[in-house]
Chain A
Amino acid sequence: MNAITPRNAPENAYNFAYLDEATKRMIRRAILKAIAIPGHQIPFGAREMPLPYGWGTGGIQVTAAILGPRDVLKVIDQGADDTTNAVSIRRFFARVANVQTTTRTGEATIIQTRHRIPERPLTEGQVMVFQVPMPEPLFRLEPRLAETRRLHALGDYSLAQVKLYEDIAKQGESGSSYNHPVMVGGRYLMSPSPIPGFDNPKLHNSPALMLFGAGREKKIYAVPPYTTVESLDFEDHPFRPVRAPQRCSACGSATSYLDEIIADDKGGRIFVCSDTDHCAETQGL
C-alpha cells in the first residue's frame, strides 16, 4: 500500500532520496501541473529539509522527487561543481540516494543549479532543476501574495512594464542584471531564478525540461522543453544579455560567462569561466 514507507536507502534511517513517499507524490503532482501550465507558480507543501532554507531546499525537494537509480546527477552553484554548497548538496544525494554523480554537463541526466545554466547546450535527455529564492517576479513591486496571485490570473504585468520603462528612462537600460523576469509561453511572467541575464536566452526553446523549486516560499514551476521564453523588454530597447568583455584566463573563451577575480590590491583583475566544467572541457582536461 502507498502508506508504507520502505527504508531501503543506503542510509537506512531515511527513505530513498530522504523524502517519504507521500511527500514525493505531493511534489510530483505539483510538477505535472507545473509542466501543464508553463510559468505558473504552484503552491506545494514544502517540508523542512536537513539543509537550511535558502541553501536550495526547493531544488533539493524537486530533485528528490524525480531522482531514480538510473540518473546521473550534477550539482552546480555559481556555475561551478566545486563550490561548497554544490559539494554539500551532491554529498547529500550521494548519501541518501546512492546516486551516481558527475561534474560533466554532457553526462548528467539531472542538473541541479543555483544561479547558472551550463554553457554546453542541453539535450532532450536532461532535466534542469533550479534553486529559487523568490519565485514571485513581482515581489519587489508588490509584496502581497494574495495580490500578485490576482495579477497573474489577470495576466496584468503593467507593474513590471512600468518599472522597466522607468529604469530605461532614468538610466538608459533595465535595472536588473540578474533574475530578469521572462514571459513564458506568452502568458505568465516568471522569475528565471537569479541567473545572470546572460543565461536568459538559454531558457528559450530549450530541448531540456526546466523545473524550478522554491522551498521557503513553497512554490514549484516549470518551463517545458521547446517553449517560448522571452525576457521582458521593449521593442526599441531589446533585452541585452551581458558578460564581461574579457577572455577567460584559463581556457581563453571569449563567449562564456566570466567570474571576475581580484588578483592583487593594485586593481589587478583576471577573468575565468564561471562554468568550471565547460572551462575544463575547453582546455581538454
Chain B
Amino acid sequence: MYVAVKGGDAAISAAHAWLGQRRRGDEALPELSADQIDEQLGLAVDRVMAEGSCHDRGLAALAIKQARGDLIEAAFLLRAYRNTLSRFAACEPIDTGAMRVQRRISATYKDLPGGQVLGPTFDYTHRLLDFALAAEGVPPPEPEEAEAAEGTMPRVTELLAREGLMARDMPGGDEAPPDLTREPLPFPTPRPLRLQSLARGDEGFLLGLGYSTQRGYGNAHPFVAELRMGEVEVFLAPSELGFAISIGDIAVTECQMVNQFAGSAQNPPQFTRGYGLAMGHGERRAMSMALVDRALMSKEMGEEATAPAQDAEFVLLHADNVEATGFVEHLKLPHHVDFQSELEKLRSIRARWQADREAAPVQEAAE
C-alpha cells in the first residue's frame, strides 16, 4: 500500500537551520556586522532602502546580512517590516534645491552657478581590480579638501524655465498625494503614483527600459540637465503645532533629464523634463527613472506611444521586484494538481487526435 509523503514540518525546520549556517559561513572568519555593511557596502544599503521603500540604513544593512547579500530578498524583508509600522503623519515635500550637495553635475552646461562638483563617484575610475584591497588594514588616502561651494545651487531646469524653454511641472495642490503603498495602482496612473512606483522599482528593470528609450524604442533625446546627490532635511508639520519641525536628514539622489518636445497646437515647442529621485546614492536608478518617467508622459504630451517604456501598464506592473520575484519563484511551489489535470487533458486530446487520424486514412493517402 502507498504511504503518503509526510514531514513537511521537519523538513522546513531543518532547511532553515541549514540556511542559517550558510549565512554565517566559515566560523573561523569574523562575523560581518550590520555596521560594517552600512559603512563598507553603502551602495547596497542605498539600493535596498530605495527598493524597500524605507529610509533606515541600519535596518537595510541588517536585511542584507540576513539575506546573505541577496538585495531583492533584503528589499523584501525591509518592505515586510515597513508594512507593520503605523503611519503617524506625512512629511512636507523635501526641498532638493536646499540640498547639502556632495555631488552635482550638469551635462548641458560647461559651468553654471554653484559649479560642477564631482564628489565620490566611480566615473573616471579605471576599472582595474585593485589587488591592494585584498590586503586588509590599509587605510585609503585622504581626499584633498576642496572649498565648500558658496550659496545655493539653482536647478538647471529652473534656469531654462525662466526663459520659457522648459515646461514647468504643475505644482501639487494642498491635497495629500496618493500613496502607492495604501491603494492599488489605478490605470491610467497619475504621475505622482507613476513616480512612486518607479522610485522603488527594480533597478535592473528601470535600467533596461531607460536604455531602450535611447535605442529607438521611444522617441528620446535626453540630456542630463542635472544630477545631484547629498543630504536634505525632512520636515514634518503636525497639525496641532501649525508649523514644520525638522525631524532629520536623509541622503537622496536627484536627476533631471531634459528632453525635446515638438510642441502642439496648445503648447509651443520646448524642453520637457523627466524626473528621477532615489533614496541614498543611486545615480543609475535616478537616471533610469528619469528616462522612463519622460517616456511615460508621451500620452499626455500627445506623442505617439508605441515602445514598451511608454506603456504605463506594462512598465508599472512589472517594475516591482518584490512582486516579480514572488510570482516567478512561486513556480517552484507544488503545482501537481494543476499538472495532473493538464496530463488528463493532453491524454484526452491525443486520443481524439489519434481516433480522427485512424478514421480518415484514405484521405491522407490521397494527398
- Which residue numbers of A lie inside 8 Å of B, CB to CB? 3, 5, 14-15, 18, 20, 43-50, 52-55, 57, 77-80, 82-88, 91, 114-116, 133, 143-146, 171-173, 175, 177-179, 194-198, 216, 218-219, 242-244, 249-250, 257-261, 270, 272, 274, 276, 279
Question: Are B322 and A77 in contact, CB atoms less than 8 angstroms apart?
Answer: no
B36 contacts partner chain A, Cβ-Cβ < 8 Å: no
Contacts A53-B330, A55-B326, A133-B330; A250 near B184 (Cβ below 8 A)? no
Q: List 10 A-B contacts (CB under 8 A).
A: A48-B76, A82-B4, A84-B12, A143-B313, A173-B352, A177-B341, A195-B337, A196-B341, A244-B343, A257-B340
- Which residue numbers of B lie inside 8 Å of A, CB to CB? 1-9, 11-12, 76, 79-80, 82-84, 86, 181-188, 313, 317, 322-323, 325-331, 333-338, 340-345, 348-349, 352-353
Question: Are A48 and B80 in contact, CB atoms less than 8 angstroms apart?
Answer: yes
Q: Give the chain A neighbours of B3 by CB distance below 8 A.
A: 250
Q: State how many angstroms separate the Cβ of B355 from the closest Cβ of chain A.
A: 9
Question: Are B2 and A44 in contact, CB atoms less than 8 angstroms apart?
Answer: no
Question: Are A172 and B352 in contact, CB atoms less than 8 angstroms apart?
Answer: yes
Q: Give the chain B neighbours of A116 by CB distance below 8 A.
A: 337
Question: Are A53 and B11 in contact, CB atoms less than 8 angstroms apart?
Answer: no
Q: State how many angstroms separate the Cβ of B181 from the closest Cβ of chain A.
A: 8
Q: How far is the CA of A258 from the CA of B7 in the complex (A)?
A: 20
A195, A216, A272 — most chain B CB neighbours (10 Å): A216
Question: Are B187 and A145 in contact, CB atoms less than 8 angstroms apart?
Answer: yes
Q: Give the chain B neighbours of A84 by CB distance below 8 A.
A: 8, 11-12, 334
Q: Give the chain A neighbours of B337 by CB distance below 8 A.
A: 78-79, 115-116, 178, 194-196, 257, 259, 274
Q: Which 7 A-B pairs have the closest CB atoms?
A: A54-B330, A53-B326, A177-B345, A177-B341, A218-B184, A52-B326, A196-B341
> Closest chain B residue to A78 by CB distance?
B337
Q: Give the chain B neighbours of A53 by CB distance below 8 A.
A: 322-323, 325-327, 330
Known: A143-B313, A175-B345, A218-B184. 12 other contacts (CB 8 A): A44-B184, A52-B325, A54-B327, A54-B330, A78-B337, A84-B11, A84-B12, A145-B187, A173-B345, A177-B345, A216-B323, A250-B1
Total A-B residue contacts, Cβ distance less than 8 Å: 163
Instruction: Pick from A20, A46, A52: contact of B86, CB below 8 A.
Output: A20
> Closest chain B residue to A55 by CB distance?
B330
Question: Are A14 and B84 in contact, CB atoms less than 8 angstroms apart?
Answer: yes
Q: State how many angstroms separate the Cβ of A203 from the closest Cβ of chain B.
A: 16
Q: How far is the CA of A197 from the CA of B344 in the complex (A)?
A: 11
Question: Are A45 and B79 in contact, CB atoms less than 8 angstroms apart?
Answer: no
Question: Are B8 and A83 in contact, CB atoms less than 8 angstroms apart?
Answer: yes
Q: Give the chain A neighbours of B12 by CB distance below 8 A.
A: 84, 87-88, 91
Q: How far is the CA of A18 from the CA of B329 in the complex (A)?
A: 24
Q: State how many angstroms separate the Cβ of B241 from the closest Cβ of chain A.
A: 18
Q: How far is the CA of A243 from the CA of B348 in the complex (A)?
A: 11
Question: Are B8 and A270 in contact, CB atoms less than 8 angstroms apart?
Answer: no
Q: How far is the CA of A171 from the CA of B352 in the complex (A)?
A: 8
Question: Are A83 and B334 in contact, CB atoms less than 8 angstroms apart?
Answer: yes
Contacts A20-B86, A146-B313; A178 near B352 (Cβ below 8 A)? no
Q: State how many angstroms separate the Cβ of B251 from the closest Cβ of chain A.
A: 24
> Closest chain A residue to B85 by CB distance?
A20
Instruction: Pick from A3, A78, A216, A219: contact of B327, CB below 8 A.
Output: A216
Q: State how many angstroms separate the Cβ of B37 from the closest Cβ of chain A.
A: 22
Question: Are B8 and A86 in contact, CB atoms less than 8 angstroms apart?
Answer: yes
Instruction: Pick from B184, B313, B345: contact of A46, CB below 8 A.
Output: B184
Question: Are A52 and B329 in contact, CB atoms less than 8 angstroms apart?
Answer: yes
Q: How far is the CA of A279 from the CA of B333 in the complex (A)?
A: 22
Q: Give the chain A neighbours of B183 by CB distance below 8 A.
A: 43, 45
Instruction: Pick from A52, A86, A195, A243: contact of B344, CB below 8 A.
Output: A243
Q: How far is the CA of A172 from the CA of B327 in the complex (A)?
A: 32
Instruction: Pick from B8, B76, B79, B338: contact of A82, CB below 8 A.
Output: B8
Q: How far is the CA of A57 from the CA of B306 in the complex (A)?
A: 34
Q: How far is the CA of A54 from the CA of B335 in the complex (A)?
A: 12
Contacts A43-B184, A48-B79, A216-B327; A172 near B349 (Cβ below 8 A)? yes
Q: How far is the CA of A47 from the CA of B183 in the complex (A)?
A: 9
Q: How far is the CA of A43 from the CA of B11 in the complex (A)?
A: 36
Question: Are B84 and A77 in contact, CB atoms less than 8 angstroms apart?
Answer: no
Q: State how many angstroms separate the Cβ of A234 from the closest Cβ of chain B.
A: 17
Question: Are A276 and B334 in contact, CB atoms less than 8 angstroms apart?
Answer: no
Q: How far is the CA of A269 from the CA of B128 in the complex (A)?
A: 58
> Closest chain A residue to B15 by CB distance?
A84
Contacts A20-B86, A115-B335; A244 near B344 (Cβ below 8 A)? yes
Q: State how many angstroms separate the Cβ of A12 from the closest Cβ of chain B.
A: 12
Q: Give the chain B neighbours of A14 by CB distance below 8 A.
A: 84
Q: How far is the CA of A80 from the CA of B340 in the complex (A)?
A: 15
Question: Are A244 and B340 in contact, CB atoms less than 8 angstroms apart?
Answer: yes
Question: Are B334 and A250 in contact, CB atoms less than 8 angstroms apart?
Answer: no
Q: How far is the CA of A156 from the CA of B12 in the complex (A)?
A: 46
> Closest chain A residue to B53 by CB distance?
A48
Q: How far is the CA of A261 from the CA of B2 in the complex (A)?
A: 10
Question: Are A242 and B326 in contact, CB atoms less than 8 angstroms apart?
Answer: no
Question: Are A177 and B342 in contact, CB atoms less than 8 angstroms apart?
Answer: yes
Q: How far is the CA of A276 from the CA of B6 in the complex (A)?
A: 10
Q: How far is the CA of A57 from the CA of B341 in the complex (A)?
A: 25
Q: How far is the CA of A134 from the CA of B323 in the complex (A)?
A: 13
Q: Give the chain B neighbours of A47 by CB distance below 8 A.
A: 83, 181
> Closest chain A residue to B343 by CB distance?
A260
> Closest chain B residue to A81 by CB distance?
B8
> Closest chain A residue to B350 by CB distance?
A171
Contacts A44-B184, A52-B325; A173 near B333 (Cβ below 8 A)? no
Q: Give the chain B neighbours of A145 by CB distance below 8 A.
A: 187, 313, 317
> Closest chain B residue to A87 by CB distance?
B8
Question: Are B344 and A146 in contact, CB atoms less than 8 angstroms apart?
Answer: no
Q: How far is the CA of A73 from the CA of B326 in the complex (A)?
A: 25
> Closest chain A residue to B52 by CB distance?
A48
Question: Are B84 and A87 in contact, CB atoms less than 8 angstroms apart?
Answer: no
Contacts A172-B349, A178-B338; A242 near B344 (Cβ below 8 A)? yes
